[in-house]
Amino acid sequence: MIPEETVPRHVAIIMDGNGRWAKKRFLPRLLGHKAGVKAIERTVRAADALGIRFLSLYAFSTENWRRPEKEVSGLMSIFRFVLRRKVEEMKRENVRLRFSGFREGMPQDIVELMEWAEEETKENTGLTLVPCLNYGGRQEILHAVEQMLKDGAQPPVTEERFREFLYLPDLPDPDLIVRTSGEKRLSNFWLWQSTYSELYFTDTLWPDFDGKELENAVKYFANRERRYGALK
């Protein structure tokens, strides 16, 4: 049993390894992505049971557009399917959906589904699930600067003022960032918000990730001493 006071409020996950999971099984990459959806479902339930309040998932980065057209198209079809079929389930389970990322450039029907999902779940008071679609940390920072200039902001610029122009300014910074599949980098995820995040890396490929894996990450976090730049 993990003490409630040691559970991170916001866990962010870089879901990596779908393609390698499929390759190991001589399957098309798209089946790896579909298996990854099952891992998301397991992880959402596990996060809620552990008392995590916010779970953000790096679902599609700004760099992912460079992947083969067939794979990108398949991913968009998966997003459509999940949004159409899973929102009612999330409403029953008291999960709130919010999306982070640059919506321009996304297919318009998916943007409309995202807006519909946010509206349908906005009254839910349990876990807040934040899929990051067409998200890039550098792009978010540049977008915030552009919006500040349009707003006529004058120096000095404070962190608090800058935060107002992020995609989700009221979302708490991630306490813990988890990356699967053995890679050890942030890959342009939550660059502004991750300043004091604890980092946890696991060799587990994303489709194999489950509640036990999440619990291991939370236990790691619980044993960390967070000093925020202060001396011991």
What are the sequence ranges of the domains in the chain? 4-135+173-221
Banded model confidence at residue 232, pLDDT cuts 50, 70, 90: low
Q: Which CATH number among 3.40.50.2000, 2.60.40.10, 3.40.1180.10, 3.90.1640.10 corresponds to the domain 4-135+173-221?
A: 3.40.1180.10
For helices 29-50 and 69-92, angle between their N-to-C axes, nearest 10 degrees? 30
**Tens of pLDDT, residues 127-151:** 999 999 999 999 999 999 999 999 9
| Distance from C-alpha of 10 to C-alpha of 56, rounded to nearest angstrom | 8
Is the pLDDT score of 154 beyond 90?
Answer: no
**Tens of pLDDT, residues 156-202:** 999 999 999 999 999 999 999 999 999 999 999 999 999 999 999 99
175 noted as active-site residue: no
pLDDT at residue 178 in the model: 98
Among 16, 18, 134, 175, the active-site one is: 16
94 noted as active-site residue: no
Contact, 101 vs 134, CB < 8 A? yes
| Dihedral of alpha carbons 46, 49, 50, 52, sign | positive
pTM of the shown model: 0.95
Among 48, 64, 173, 208, the active-site one is: 64
